[in-house]
Amino acid sequence: MNSRQNEIVQIVNDRKRVQVTELSEIIGVSGVTIRQDLNFLEQQGYLKRVHGAATALQNDDIDHRLEVRFDIKQTLANKAADLVDPNETVLIEGGSANALLARTLAERGDVTIITPSAYIAHLIRNTSANIILLGGVYQHQGESLVGPLTKLCIENIHFSTAFLGVDGFHQDTGFTSRDMMRADIAETILAKKRRNIVLTDSSKFGQIYPSTIGLISQISLLLTDESAPKEDLEFLESQGVEVQLG
Confidence of residue 45 (pLDDT cuts 50, 70, 90): low
Same-domain pairing of 46 and 76: no
Q: With pLDDT > 70 as the criterion, what percentage of the chain qualifies?
A: 93
DSSP code of residue 135: P
pLDDT at 59: 45
The pLDDT of residue 64 is 59
Tell me which residue range forms the domain holding 193.
Answer: 65-245
pLDDT greater than 90 at residue 229: yes
Tell me how crowded residue 204 is: count the other CB atoms within 10 A of its CB. 21
Range of lowest pLDDT (8-17, 64-73, 106-115, 207-216):
64-73
**Edge to edge, what strands does the sheet with 130-133 contain?**
130-133, 112-115, 89-92, 161-164, 195-199, 221-224, 242-245
Residues 27 and 105 in one domain: no
Q: Are residues 122 and 201 in the same domain?
A: yes
pLDDT tens digits for 63-113?
A: 656 666 778 899 999 999 999 999 999 999 988 899 999 999 998 889 999
Nearest-CA neighbor of 101 among 153, 60, 111?
A: 111
Q: At 34, is the pLDDT very low, low, confident or very high (cuts 50, 70, 90)?
A: very high
Between CA 181 and CA 187, with CA 185 as vertex, the angle to 5 degrees is 115
pLDDT digits (tens, 9 = 90+) for 117-143: 999 999 898 888 899 999 999 998 788
The total of structural domains in the chain comes to 2
**Which residue type, as a one-letter code, is found at position 116?**
P
Domain containing 44 — which CATH number? 1.10.10.10
d(CA 235, CA 239): 6
pLDDT of residue 223: 98
Do 24 and 30 touch, CB atoms closer than 8 A?
A: yes
More confident residue, 2 or 20: 20
Dihedral angle sign, alpha carbons of residues 201, 203, 204, 206: positive
Which pTM does this prediction carry? 0.75
pLDDT of 67 reads 60
DSSP 8-state class, residue 58: P
239 and 119 in a common domain: yes
Residue that terminates a domain, selected from 57, 75, 101: 57
Centroid of chain to Cα 208: 13
